[in-house]
Amino acid sequence: MKAWLLRDFGLDNLELGEVPTPEAKPGELLIKVGGASLNFRDRAIVEGFYEPHLVPKPLIPVSDVAGNVFAVGDGVTRFKVGDRVNSHPLFAMARRCSQPRRAHLPALARRFPAVSRNI
């Protein structure tokens, strides 16, 4: 599959490359990404400002994605191939909560999953 890879810090070190398509391990989903957004956190990671000692290389720098489940690992029962999902828990909460701005976020984080098919 094609992916933007960060081999070292700095925008000049982002390069489009081919990587093997991963397999869904036990308890994981493999998502065919239909859309992604790059945000301030992604830029900070690329520039080496966001916990650089924890950044593996090469890295595909993206935090927020949406797409469809392409494969499920052993033990996954909540999702099936073809389900629409996203990676952002606040988006999932906002779609389900009638008054998200008044909600207590730690309580909502326990109530709603980090991945939702309600996009």
**pTM check: above 0.85:** no
Q: Are 58 and 50 in contact (CB under 8 A)?
A: no
Segment 36-77, tens digit of pLDDT: 888 888 889 999 998 888 888 898 888 888 899 999 999 999
Rounded CA-CA distance 96/118 in Å is 8
pLDDT computed for residue 103 by the predictor: 39
Please name the amino acid found at residue 14: L
Give residue 105's pLDDT band: very low, low, confident or very high (50, 70, 90): very low
